[in-house]
Amino acid sequence: MNVHKNARLTPRGREWVVSQAASGQTPKAIAGAVGVCPRTVRKWSRRHASEGVAGLADRSSRPHRLYRPTPQAVVERIEALRRERMTGKAIAAEVGVSSATVSRVLKRLGLNKLKMLEPAEPVRRYEREHPGELIHLDIKKLGKFKRIGHRITGQRQGCRNIGAGWEYVHVCIDDASRIAFTKVMKNERKECAVAFLKAAVAYYASLGVTVLRVMTDNGSCYRSKAFRKACTKLGLKHIRTKPYTPKTNGKAERFIQTALREWAYARAYDTSKQRAAELPFWTHRYNWHRPHGSIDSKPPISRLGLTGNNLLRLHI
């Protein structure tokens, strides 16, 4: 219930007021008990008598009749100019009304923000046909800790991990199969980015997958000459996302959300080292056992088409 912060009575309190009035209590006595004036008691009694319990609900404070309301022709003119993407001040100057009037009209029409004029962008989903055609890389920064923090214990004293530092989770996910590879690195610089890329390509190669393309954001480590040289040496085409558009690399972003929810914040780890040690086991469960909603609730490894001895050989 959205009750005004200064409200003396809620709808349930008004019912009690009405019931006391019906039992014979005087408005003055009831008003003194609930901290309102007798006129308020009589008001709720009248509403209950004419409308029943529904009359005790909150009402809009907007007056029934407005003093000198904005003419409908002016409202329509304001709407038409807004749909031409004119600003509020420009509309006010064109129509000859105040900016406040234009603001009120646009808010009432639901056009107070320019983005409301544009239809919602349709969801565009894409998926590569074969594993290895494209892998997505990204990095998530996590704070280190030597003891359980205040979010778990509820106590700030003695639970702070000042100066513990940071660790960086480098993630990689295959576009077609959703098979992921993760590793905790000491930083997000080019040396670690190159080392992780090589480790990821080697991991997919161990599954019989040849990587052809890699997609990253525009982080400095991915724009470095060392990363470009590593991609050339590995025979990879490097694709960078559109600036300020993380959804372009959406599969990696979504995987990070899942990892944070099901691994990093899933339980209270004693230390960040214990959390990091759990990551390979969680990644294995993600690839081999966890149902994935976008691939018919099957684990990602199922998209490699492995069967029999090949499957058993790789499942370690």
pLDDT of residue 307: 57
- Secondary element (H or E) of residue 11: helix 11-22
Q: Read off the CATH number of the domain in which 206 is found.
A: 3.30.420.10
Judge if 229 and 293 occupy the same domain.
yes
> What's the rounded Cα separation, in Å, for the pair 65 and 68?
9
Cβ atoms of 177 and 200 within 8 Å: the answer is no
Q: Is residue 214 part of a domain?
A: yes
- The pLDDT tens digits of the residues spanning 138-175 come to 999 998 888 776 666 566 665 555 667 899 999 999 99
Judge if 173 and 285 occupy the same domain.
yes
- Mean pLDDT, the chain, integer: 87
Q: Is residue 86 part of a domain?
A: yes
Higher pLDDT, 124 or 84: 84
Q: How confident is the model at residue 115 (pLDDT cuts 50, 70, 90)?
A: confident
Judge if 153 and 288 occupy the same domain.
yes
> What's the rounded Cα separation, in Å, for the pair 66 and 104?
13
For residue 212, the enclosing domain spans 135-314
Q: Is residue 128 part of a domain?
A: no
Interior/surface letters 219-232, b for 16+ CB within 10 angstroms, e for the rest: bebbebeebeebbe
Judge if 86 and 145 occupy the same domain.
no
Judge if 140 and 46 occupy the same domain.
no
Judge if 260 and 169 occupy the same domain.
yes
Q: Is residue 126 part of a domain?
A: no
Q: How many domains does the chain have?
A: 3
